[in-house]
Amino acid sequence: MLRSPATQTVIDAASGSPAELLERLGNVLYLGGALIFVVIMAIALYATYAKARTVDTRTWVVGGGIVFPVLVLSALLVYALTIGNAISAIDTSRGPGSGMLRVHVVGKQWWWEVRYQLPGTQDEIVLANELHVPVGQPVELLLTSTDVIHSFWVPSLAGKVDMIPGRTNRLVIHTDEAGHYRGQCAEYCGGQHALMAFDVVAESTDEFADWIELQKQDAGAPRNAQLGLGYDAFFLARCDTCHTVRGTAADGRLGPDLTHVGSRRSLAAGALDNHIGTMAGWIAGPQEVKPGNLMPATDVLSGVELRALSAWLGSLR
């Protein structure tokens, strides 16, 4: 069954994912903790209401204070280590360089640059705030940052991994369940940390291959006069200073690559749904939506030009 959009939960892990093992470990901890709590409360109630009698305090202190915690914590340690081994088994089932799909994800204030390394080549396709993965195959993520520390977290798929400037961390994700998963930055990284989300789309191998083929393509020429006006407005407003649209003269590197921005599920790292209205609102007032982000407001465009620009960006699918 396809999951509904924007699932972000630690208690409904995707089947076949590392998060499923973490969820199992969590359940043992919650249930075990609850059981111990109930037993302790029962003993406390008994001690309060039963008729007073003398007990061997040494037995209770040594048994309840030393032997019991040592036994429980040792058992938990062994269990947690087996879970850890099972997670690394997903990781090492296909070692680095064995043809595993490799994706670089770079944390930025406050969005995610995503670069797919195309198998067998040095070529990359660059996009933002969205990851597509094929179901049933491990995907290697290489995680870093270019400004402050962020943390990559898709709770239904895997645990958190920090993204640290100057360092590359590795995370292998895997899922057998197609669907949409929401990811979120999990390390406070400045004012708009909360609006630093992304989408993960897990799909069949065929759908994934089609998506890669689509993302490889450059933007085509505007198909009608309104889209042509939008294309001109993009350069008039100097959007090309910061953004790349492959197939055009725009090759800015500061902001997200917009070659296929119309195909993405959300705008501004999950802050807005992606449609022509939100696109226009974001371009006209990015500082109202995400105060402090690096995108300046655009005040050189007329309403007609702004609508045309939004339509053109939306047509980049």
Would you tell me which residues interact with ligand CUA (CB under 6 A)? Answer: 107, 110, 150, 185, 187-189, 193, 196
> CB of 152: closest distance to ligand CUA in angstroms?
9
Q: Output the DSSP codes for 181-196.
A: EEEE--S--STTGGG-
Tell me whether residue 84 or residue 165 sits nearer to ligand CUA (CB atom): 165
In the chain, the amino acid numbered 42 is: A
Instruction: Please give the DSSP secondary-structure letter assigned to residue 239.
Output: G
Under a CB-based contact definition with an 8 Å cutoff, are residues 113 and 130 in contact?
A: no
> CB of 103: closest distance to ligand CUA in angstroms?
18
Tell me whether residue 110 or residue 312 sits nearer to ligand CUA (CB atom): 110
Tell me whether residue 271 or residue 313 sits nearer to ligand CUA (CB atom): 271
Under a CB-based contact definition with an 8 Å cutoff, are residues 298 and 255 in contact?
A: no
Under a CB-based contact definition with an 8 Å cutoff, are residues 112 and 264 in contact?
A: no
Tell me whether residue 187 or residue 305 sits nearer to ligand CUA (CB atom): 187
Task: Please give the structure tokens belonging to residue 284.
Answer: 């006209």
> CB of 22: closest distance to ligand CUA in angstroms?
21
Instruction: Please give the DSSP secondary-structure letter assigned to residue 263.
Output: G
Ramachandran assignment for 238, one of left (phi > 0), alpha (psi -120 to 50 degrees), beta (any other) = left
The Cα 110–Cα 309 span in angstroms is 23
> CB of 191: closest distance to ligand CUA in angstroms?
10
> CB of 58: closest distance to ligand CUA in angstroms?
51
Tell me whether residue 28 or residue 148 sits nearer to ligand CUA (CB atom): 148
Ramachandran assignment for 136, one of left (phi > 0), alpha (psi -120 to 50 degrees), beta (any other) = left
Tell me whether residue 144 or residue 215 sits nearer to ligand CUA (CB atom): 144
If you search the block for the tokens 């359940």, which residue do you land on?
27
Among the residues of 237-272, which ranges form H helices?
A: none
Could you tell me where the beta strands, DSSP code E, fall in the chain? 101-108, 111-117, 124-128, 130-134, 139-145, 150-152, 161-163, 169-173, 179-184, 197-203, 266-267, 272-273
Tell me whether residue 110 or residue 208 sits nearer to ligand CUA (CB atom): 110
Q: Output the DSSP codes for 72-120.
A: HHHHHHHHHHHHHHHHHHHHHTS-TTSS-EEEEEEEETTEEEEEEEPTT
> CB of 164: closest distance to ligand CUA in angstroms?
12
> CB of 270: closest distance to ligand CUA in angstroms?
12
Tell me whether residue 131 or residue 239 sits nearer to ligand CUA (CB atom): 131
> CB of 107: closest distance to ligand CUA in angstroms?
5
